[in-house]
Amino acid sequence: SDRVPLLELEDVDAGYGETRVLHDLSLAIEEGEIVSLIGRNGAGKTTTLRSIMGIVTPTSGMIAYRGEDISHLDATATARRGLSLVPEERQIFPELTVRENLELASYGGADDVDSLSVDAALETFENLAEREGNAGSSLSGGEQQMLAIARALVAGADLILLDEPTEGLAPYIVQDVMEIIEDLNDRGITVLLIEQNVHVGLALADRNYVINQGEIVWEGTSAELEADEEVLDRYLGVT
Ligand code: ATP
């Protein structure tokens, strides 16, 4: 088909100073998908998300969003276009309340505002509503993750980049976060997800890319990946 993917990376090279981390990395995400990027520690997953967001600038190759080249935009400019990165460390403002954290997010976000109001976001995230006047620093790990995701909603994101959203969370909270990610997707938000926990990635994702030493080495559906013991063993150390 001639449909343009929502996001497309074509032969992207990127890294830090002299260190090249990503090598000719290509991937594509259609609007409405949940796609996971999985691979071992240091494989280049976070660097991929930073390159898409514009925190790291590719040294060659192309990143297109809705068919437009965004390779050289910074993170402020990509946020205006509707991209949002939820980083692994979540970056909640500890001294601001839950509500204030959300209010701040409503400023830095997308230009085409069909973003959710702070009140509507609080209705969606009941746990957060109960704590809207509490300081960010008082939240549990799971609540911080939910606040970080709620910020992306308030910012009006169309594509959310999630860096290990379940990292360090108790199993029953992992379940809650997975439901929230599915709920976002039901609202029409496209998700690119990094997961160290292969089982969480497989359960959520429509499609998966496996990254190894900065290169995509495998691509397929979750059912295909679950059936591919060689890939699971060789690149992911599962089985
Ligand atoms: P992890 O789960 O361990 O974060 P990852 O797949 O997300 O792994 P990246 O964080 O993208 O991997 O790191 C890829 C490589 O880039 C690693 O070798 C890492 O040491 C290096 N790297 C990451 N950040 C920087 C930085 N700011 N400066 C220099 N090198 C970096």
Give Cβ neighbours of residue 217 (< 8 Å, ≥ 6 apart).
210, 211, 231, 235
Q: What is the DSSP letter of 136?
A: G
pTM, 2 dp:
0.93
Q: What is the pLDDT of residue 116?
A: 74
Q: What is the pLDDT of residue 197?
A: 82
Q: Please, which pLDDT band fits residue 29 given cuts at 50, 70 and 90?
A: very high
d(CA 152, CA 158): 9
d(CA 212, CA 209): 10
CB 19 near ligand 1, within 6 Å: yes
Alpha carbon 54 to chain centroid, angstroms: 14
Which atom of ligand 1 sits closest to the CA of residue 211? 6
β partners of residue 38: 210
- Nearest CA, atom 23, ligand 1: 47
Find the radius of gyration of the CA atoms of the chain.
17
Among residues of the chain, what percentage have pLDDT more than 70?
Answer: 96
Distance 47 CA to ligand 1 centre (A): 6
Q: What is the DSSP letter of 43?
A: S
What's the mean per-residue pLDDT of the chain?
Answer: 91
CB 1 near ligand 1, within 6 Å: no
Q: Which of 170, 217, 227, 159 is nearest to 197 (CA)?
A: 170
- Nearest CA, atom 2, ligand 1: 41
CB 18 near ligand 1, within 6 Å: no
d(CA 221, CA 210): 11
| pLDDT beyond 70 at 234 | yes
d(CA 184, CA 172): 19
Q: What is the pLDDT of residues 62-79, one digit of tens each?
A: 999 999 999 999 999 999
